[in-house]
Structures are given as structure tokens and as C-alpha cells.
Structure 1
Amino acid sequence: MAKRQLRLGAFFSLPGNHLGGWRHPDASPDANTNFNRYLELARIAERGLYDTIFFRDTAAVAGADAMFAGDRSRSRLARIVMLEPVMALAGMASVTKNIGLIATATTTYNEPYHVARRFATLDHMSDGRAGWNLVTSQFEDEAANFGLDKHPDHADRYARAGEFFDVVAGLWDSWEEDAFLYDKAAGEYFDFDKMHFLNHKGPHFSVRGPLNLPRTPQGRPIVAQAGSSGPGMDLAARTADLVFTAQIEIPEAQAFYRDLKARLHRFGRGPGDLLVLPGLTPVVAPTMAEAREKHEQLQELMPDEVALSSLARLSGGLDLTQFPLDGPLPPLPPTNSGKSRQQLAIDLARKHSMTLRQIARHVASAAGHRVIVGTPTSIADEMQAWLEADAADGFNVICNHYPVPFVEFTEMVIPELQRRGIFRTAYEGTTLRENLGLATPRNRYAA
């Protein structure tokens, strides 16, 4: 019987997911805006047979609200500028052949027709390798860039997101598979009866259609999500092919996995229709002592005040600088930003009796994702254990800085996973759906 296969995403949080990572001697601090570095990473990821590249995105400079109010401490943070990810992935499509290309686009500060067209274009340009990471925007800084005085409420953002997806998915079905005839002799370019108007009218959108692009090579782009709140999980169960999450221990990961998969049946879907990929930040070396030394060197590059700033968006507006760093995490007011990430931080701090300093440094070292320090064998052991315990279908690999840690994981850990028979040695197909083992969705209008 064939072994269950791990799925791996290369999550490029450039110039590094660790808030001090950009200062490391091996780091490229301009990797977030250096397109040649993007191309280098794409080639490395495809050689490593990752399922997909993934880019986060925000439509603002992170921390802009605080900086506008005069907070100069944010000048020590690196993850504030980035290339527009769909444009970047379009360029990366030209130097890759098999790897998936997933980018983030918010449903709060976009319009459905724009997103449907943008990702359908990327799918055509890449011969079926595109994916849309549907988010509702965690960062309140974005509101001021789009004519709003404040970020919309969490519930309102998810209500808009659900309808947004419906419109985008409907537009992707505008043309049936064989709608375009290109019949020169008869002079008929397309079959009129296989073109469909969406004519959507809802609380948030009124969109006629059709989309001015044919059906895409993989039927429609992959849809990914990262929400772990109740509304986020419901939306994912209805709409997503991939879910990116941030559990760091097996019991919590198993509970999330079971809960999310159990929700699928309400939408006529099965457990195999959605893949769960927690984030994983590896620190790998030939020996455990070397790996620990690497991690300690990284931690020394991050002052406590920088670590504390990583909790700002999860603080519910509470000024954490007024509390002692070696005291407990104070009670946090509800946030209108990342509700599930706030709860994960609260639960972790309570479970392990972590001080404010400790939880801040944990969040700052990997944006709340799991940090795993070890050898290729010990890291592969952990990844296999999560897979076999139904705690994950795979992982999003998020590195502390780039390119060296990504190269090390690719060259040291992936061969160990392959030796165990739980990771591919060649791509299964040419589209992202084929490589993920996901079915092509039927066009809703097809007979």
C-alpha cells in the first residue's frame, strides 16, 4: 500500500519570517524587493519538488497607523515593503514549469471582477498552476489607504468574503470548456450558447459578467485560506482547497484538523477535497548542537522591544509597553485584526505559563508558527509524526531569512522525507490540482 504523501508549500515571507532574521550575516535584507532573488528562490523550490510557492500580501505598510502617530521604533522592522505578488508570480511562471504559484488578495479591499481576472490570467500564463489565497485583511493599517476611517468589523469582513468568493467562482465559470471554436471556415469564434452571464445581485456586489477570459487550464485556480476562527473555518470548508494554519502542538493541530474536515460534509464535500498545511519554521544543521547554536544566534539579533512590537496587532489596542516583560501576558481586549492568531497566542501563554517577554519572542520569531530546531532526521521525524497523526496534510515551510535556510531545508530535509517514501521524487502532473491530488471542479453550466 502506497504511503500517504506530504504536501509542501514554500511560504516566502521575505526578507525573513524572524523579525531579526534580516540582520543575519547570511541574509539578503533586500530579498523582499529584489526580483532576481525571487527567481532564484523559485528555481530552488521547483528543484526541491515543492507543491507550491506562496506569497503573503498586505495593502499597506505594516505598522503605518503607529508610525503616522509618531512611533519611530518600527524603523527596525523589515517586513514592511514587498512586490505585488501576482505580478511577481507572473514573472516567476516564466522560469518554472511545475510548481504552483499562490498569492494573497484581500476580499475587503478589492473587487471580485479584478481578482477573478487577475488569477485567471496567472493560471493561463502558467498553464494551470495559479492559486488565490483568500483573506479578509488582518491589518487595520489598510483601511486608511481605501478611503475608510476604520477597518470593517470581523463579521462584516467575512460576510463580504463569502459573497466575494461566490462572485469570483461564478465568473471563472463564464465559459464552458469547449466554448471557443476558432472555426475559420464557418467564421464562428465561439459558441454563443456556452457563454454565461453571472447576473449576480447581492448585499455587497452586483456583477453581470461574463469574465473576459476562457475557462482556465486547471478548471479554476486553487483557493487557499488561512482563517482559523469559527467564521474563517466555515468559509474554508465551503470554498477552500488548501488551508494554511498555525498550530504548534499535535493535540491542538489534531483538534483543528478534525473540526475543519468535519465541516466539509455540510457543503457536499469530502475530507480529501481540502488539505491542511500548518506553518513550519525550520532551523536545521547536521547536529543538534549546531542547530541550537544557529537558533540562539538568531534570537540574539532580536531586541525585546522589537519582539514586543510583534504583539501589537494582536493586543486589541492595549499598550503592552506598560507591563513588565517578565510578568504574565495581561488580559487582552478582543481584536478586530487576527482573532484566531490572538487566541493562539493567549492559549499558548496560558498553557506554558509564558511571560510577556517569552510569548512576544515566540510570536516574533515565526509569526506564531511552529519553530523546529534539529537535524534532518529529527525534523523529518516530526513532520512524519504530524502526517501520521492526522494533524496535518503537509506544511508551509517559512524560513527565518533567505536564501540560506531555505536551501538547507531543501537539500537536507527533503531527501530524508523522500527516503521514507512520504514525499514525491517527481511531479505527478503539470497543473497545481494534479500535483496536489485535487479534482478539477465541474463548470456549473456544463451538461
Structure 2
Amino acid sequence: MSSRESATQPDALPPLHLGAMLTASGAPDDERAWLDPSEPTNASVSPDWYREVAQIAEQATFDFLFIADAVFVDLDSPAHYLSRFEPLSALSFLAGVTSHIGLVGTFSTSYQEPYNLARMLMSLDHLSRGRAGWNVVTSLGDRAARNFGLDAQRDHETRYARATEAIDVVRALWRSYEADAFPRDRASGTFLDQSKVHTLNHRGEHFSVAGPLNIERSPQGEPVIFQAGQSAPGMALAAHSADCVFGMQTTIEDALAYREGIRGAMAGSDRPEPKLYIKVMIAFADAPGRADEAAREYLVRHGALDELRGRVSRAIEREIEVGDASTITDRDIARGHVNEGTWLFEHLTEDRDAGRTLGESVERLLGRDRLVFAGTGEEIADEMVEWQRAGAAEGFIMQVSNRAEFRRVRDELAPALRVRGALRDAYPEDATLRGLLGLAERN
């Protein structure tokens, strides 16, 4: 049966949802992007680069652009992390040069007040006519804490409790006004119907916020909430609050297990289950049957093993040599947890318990720390559909730093997905981000 025929069968699935994470000069997984002579060395602070990539994504009918962020700098980090735009500014710019695609930015609940978050994000939602999304993070590392008057980051449990309360407060502020609270009736002189205003008067463990917000609801009601926590508290936060979850699993089995973890955390809740989007790197091959070659070439081009060694060194705060035969210590595991989160904590713990050396542990990560879909557009489309049919994802977030490769996504992968019924042909008229993602709009 051909893929075109299979797309018309009764068990055909809804189209995949696709996001583009803009990493410009190169972040982990595309570390050496800035060395490509076809890309500007200053891509991470180039409005032209962001505009072009956003418009390619829109031409490919992607659902959203995604901007990750951190509130500190490590001078040994990849190029993109050393000099990059603040997300709200970048997304506000992109709102003016796009028409349909969603705009999702990362903002921390650890170092922002809910009132500011609610106001900034609702403003972006209005500026984009209902296309805004908020990726909620709690921020990792003591370096971030020291930029905000703290000696060290708050403990894991406190950060997630603060995040849960912050999201609840932000959502309550977004709902300060009923949909018809602003009649703007010149005849009667009534701009606001005060009976349709809801003050907050919140007093919680972490925040005290009176409200109401000083901006009304947007065309989609309120921005879409994304969350990317992999730990038990992170999954609990997603279960409590998220519309969409950003996953970094590298196998179908791991993605299904992660989804089950979210479902377990939602036991007894009447909230809709969050949609799961998996981060992926794309490596094109010029002929069928060369997917492995394309994936290897991608990893070599970006110095994946060197990058991993440096990333883990920074996380555990000691140098890892090539072929390092030293033992993984409790301190390595603890610092890895603080600076990188649950994924590294669990990996180092497993390797410590198995008696692996630190060098062996880093090398073993090479096959586990990133998902690379490689091959022709047809082969990559088949792999994406396989994940969707297995129930492992509603869609994917592609890391983008190379414009030529991203044009191939538009010109080769997107048509192959459409043939399979796995990508829309065009945007619906006046669609909001909630509409694109199949989420209920907030009235």
C-alpha cells in the first residue's frame, strides 16, 4: 500500500504538529553552526537571520517558532548561548514579519514576577493576534541565581512549587476580564463594564498579587503553556498546568514511558492530557539508504563527542579528559543534577552503579542524548509518522541553525509529510496558536 493510499485509510491520524527552535549560531546539538561559511557568524543577533528562518517555517506551514533561553552566561558555552536575543523582544519582532505561525518563548518563574509575566505574554498575544505561547522553566544552575541576588539556586522542590503557583497566578490574571468586559460604547460613555472584572487578591506561599491585570483577553483567550520538565516534579507541573510538553526522549519506548509518567501524574484530574512534542535534529541524505551516513556526518560536523565532554565537564564542574578512566563520584552526580537537571543525574547514577568510568559514561551519551532523523525527505517523513502511529508524539520541535538544511525541510520533508496526510496544506484563516494545535480556546 502506498503512503498516499494509507493516508486515506480510516485509521489515518491527524496531521503532525511542527515547531522550529531557533538556535542560530549553534547550541548543544548544533554546536558548530557558526563555523559554516554559508551562515553569518552573528546569526544569533541578526534580525535578518531570524526573519528568513521564520518565513521559511511559515512557508512550510509549521505550527510555531520556539525560542529557548537562560538568564546567565557560561563563557565555555556554545556560540548561541554567548550572545542572543531576549525572547520577548525577538518574538515581538517576528510577530511583525509573519502572519500565521505561533510564537513560543521561554520565561523563568524563578526570576520573574507573575504580574510581569502575565502582562508581557498577553501583550505578545495581542501583538501577534493570538499566536503567543509560554515555555515555563524554573531555571537551572547557581550561575543564574547569582544574577538575581542569590548565592545558589533554590532547591528542586521549591522551584517547582514556585512555578506551579506562578502559573496559577498568571492564568488568573489573564482571566481578569470577561470576554465582553470592554464595550467601548461611545454613546453611553462606557469603556469598561466593571461588573465583568475579576480582581485576584492572591496571597500564597511565594507570591502576593492583588490584580487585576491591565490588559484584556486576546483573540485566543490566553497564551498556550508549554513545559519541558523531565523529573517527577517537572511531570507533576506539566500534569497540573501544561497544554503542551517539550520532550527530549530519543526512542519511541522512552517517549511512551514519559507519556505514561505524565498520565500517572494526572490521575484524578479532568484536564486534557498535554500534547507531546519531541525535540529532533534533521540530517538530509541525497539518496535513499544513506541515513546512517548522513547522521554520522552531522555528528562529526558538530563535534558531538567533544561537545558532550565539555557540556558534562561544565555540569559536574571538573575537567573530563579524552578516555577519562576516573570514577563517577557522588559530587559529580549532585552537580550534574544542579546544572543540567534530571536527565544527566539519572544517566550518571546509572553508569556509576554499573561501574562505568566517567569517559565511558560520556561516550555512552552520544547515542542517547539527541534524536537525529536522517535520510531523504521521504525517509524522515516515514520515521516521524512511525513515532506518531506508536503514540509517542503529536509532533516534533526541530532545532534550526542552518538555513539551507531548513529550506530542504520546506522543499523536501514538508511535501513528503503532506503526501502521507501528516501535514496541513495551508493555514486556516485567522487561526490562533490554540487553533493550530487543536487546543480549546479560552473564553
Contact 2:333 2:345 in 1 (8 A): no
Query: In the alignment, is residue 35 of structure 1 matched against residue 36 of structure 2?
Result: no
Secondary structure of 2:183's counterpart equals strand
- Alignment of structure 1 residues 132-147 onto 2, 5 Å: 132-147=134-149
What is the identity, as a one-letter code, of the residue corresponding to 2:194?
Answer: F
Asked if structure 2 preserves the Cα contact closer than 8 Å seen for 1:27 and 1:404, the reply is no
User: The residue matched to 2:82 in structure 1 has which SS?
Assistant: coil
Q: Which amino acid aligns with 2:197?
A: M
Residue among 92, 100, 124 paired with 1:98? 100
The equivalences for 1:347-366 within 5 A come to 360=362
Matches within 5 A, 1:159-308: 159-271=161-273, 274-287=274-287, 288-289=289-290, 292=293, 295-296=296-297, 299-300=300-301, 302=303, 306-308=307-309
How many angstroms does 1:361 deviate by?
Answer: 6.6
Who is 1:412 aligned against?
412
Distance 1:297 1:234, change over 3 A: closer
| CA deviation profile, 1:14-52 (whole Å, cap 9, x unmatched) | 322422232233333311110111111110010111110
Question: Cα–Cα, structure 1 residues 245 and 385, in superposed 2: closer, same or farther, change >3 Å?
Answer: same
Give the match for residue 421 of structure 2: 421
Residue of structure 2 aligned with 1:7, choices 17, 20, 39: 17
Distance change >3 Å, CA 418–CA 248, structure 1 → 2: same
1:326 CA drift (Å): 5.7
Distance 1:352 1:23 in 2: 38
Percent sequence identity over aligned pairs: 36
Once the 2 structures are TM-superposed, how far is the Cα of residue 360 of structure 1 from its aligned partner? 4.2
Q: Structure 1: which amino acid aligns with 2:107?
A: A
User: Compared with structure 1, are the counterparts of its residues 218 and 352 closer, same or farther at alpha carbon in structure 2 (3 Å cutoff)?
Assistant: farther
| Counterpart residue number, 2:86 | 84
Amino acid at match of 2:385: Q
CA, structure 1 residues 389+153, in 2 after alignment: closer, same or farther (shift >3 Å)?
Answer: same
Of the candidates 31, 37, 55, which is equivalent to residue 19 of structure 1? 31
Contact preservation (8 Å) 1:286, 1:376: no
Please tell me whether the aligned partners of residues 247 and 370 of structure 1 are also in contact (alpha carbons under 8 angstroms): yes
Asked if 1 retains the 8 angstrom alpha-carbon contact of 2:304 and 2:366, the reply is: no
Is the 1:31–1:402 contact (alpha carbons within 8 Å) kept by the matching residues of 2?
A: no
- What's the counterpart of residue 120 of structure 1? 122
Name the structure 2 match of 1:372. Answer: 373
Change in 2 beyond 3 A, CA 1:178/1:389: same
Q: Which runs of 5+ in 2 are unaligned?
A: 1-9
Deviations 1:376-398 (A, max 9, x none): 22211211111011111111111
Q: How big is the shift at 1:184?
A: 0.8
Equivalent residues in 2 for 1:324-335 (5 A)?
Answer: 325=323, 327=325, 330-331=328-329, 332-334=332-334, 335=337
RMSD: 2.7
Q: Count residues in correspondence.
A: 425
Give yes or no for contact 2:328–2:352 (8 Å, CA) kept in 1. Answer: no
TM-score, normalising length from structure 2?
A: 0.88
CA distance in 2, matches of 1:50, 1:396: 10
Q: 1:244 to 1:31 in 2, by over 3 A?
A: same
Return the offset for 1:166: 1.0
Which shifted more, 257-266 or 124-133?
257-266
Aligned residue type for 2:220: Q
Secondary structure at 1:243 match in 2: strand
Equivalent-residue separation in structure 1 for 2:219 and 2:270 (angstroms)? 24
Distance 2:326 2:175 in 1: 52
Q: How big is each residue's C-alpha offset from its partner over 1:209-260, in whole Å with a ceiling of 9 and x where there is no partner?
A: 1100001110110000010100000111111111001100111111111221
* Equivalent residue, structure 2, for 1:59: 71
Q: Give how far 1:83 is off.
A: 0.5
Letter in 2 for 1:233: M
In 2, the alpha carbon distance for the partners of 1:363 and 1:407 equals 30
3-state SS in 1 of match to 2:159:
helix
* Mapped partners of 2:359, 2:82: distance in 1: 23
Taking structure 1 as reference, are residues 125 and 378 closer, same or farther at Cα in structure 2, changes over 3 Å only?
Answer: same
Partner of 2:385: 384
1:416 maps to a residue whose letter is A
Look up the SS of the partner of 1:384 in the other structure: helix
For 2:343, which of 325, 341, 344 is the aligned residue?
A: 341
Q: For residue 49 of structure 1, what is the amino acid of its counterpart?
A: T
Q: Quick one: distance in 1 between partners of 2:96 and 2:138?
A: 29
1:113–1:168: 8 Å Cα contact kept in structure 2?
A: yes
Q: Partners in 1 of 2:436 and 2:353 — Cα distance? A: 38
SS at match of 2:427: coil
Q: CA deviation at 1:309?
A: 1.5
* Closer/same/farther in 2, CA of residues 185 and 75 from structure 1, 3 Å limit: closer
Q: 1:131-152 CA distances to partner (integer Å, 9 max, x unpaired)?
A: 0100000243211111111111
Identify the range of structure 1 (254-263 vs 115-124) with the bigger mean alpha-carbon deviation.
254-263
Q: Against the structure 1 CA distance between its residues 26 and 293, is the aligned structure 2 distance closer, same or farther, given a 3 Å change threshold?
A: farther
1:70 counterpart residue number: none
Structure 1 gaps, min length 5: 65-73, 443-447
Aligned to 2:56: 44
Hey, what's the Cα distance between the residues in 1 that align with 2:278 and 2:352? 21
Partner Cα distance (2:178, 2:148) in 1: 35
SS at match of 2:339: coil
Q: Is the CA contact (8 Å cut-off) linking 1:19 and 1:365 kept in structure 2?
A: no
What SS is found at the alignment partner of 2:43? coil
SS where residue 262 of structure 2 aligns? helix
Q: Distance in 1 between matches of 2:32 and 2:198?
A: 51
Q: AA paired with 2:276?
A: V
Distance 1:95 1:13 in 2: 18
Letter paired with 2:323: L
Q: Which residue of 2 aligns with 1:445?
A: none
Counterpart in the other structure of 1:438? 439
After superposition, give the CA deviation of every residue in 1:276-319 in whole Å (9 maximum; x if it has no partner): 0110001112224487257426515538654412113543x4x2
* Larger deviation, residues 94-103 vs 257-266: 257-266
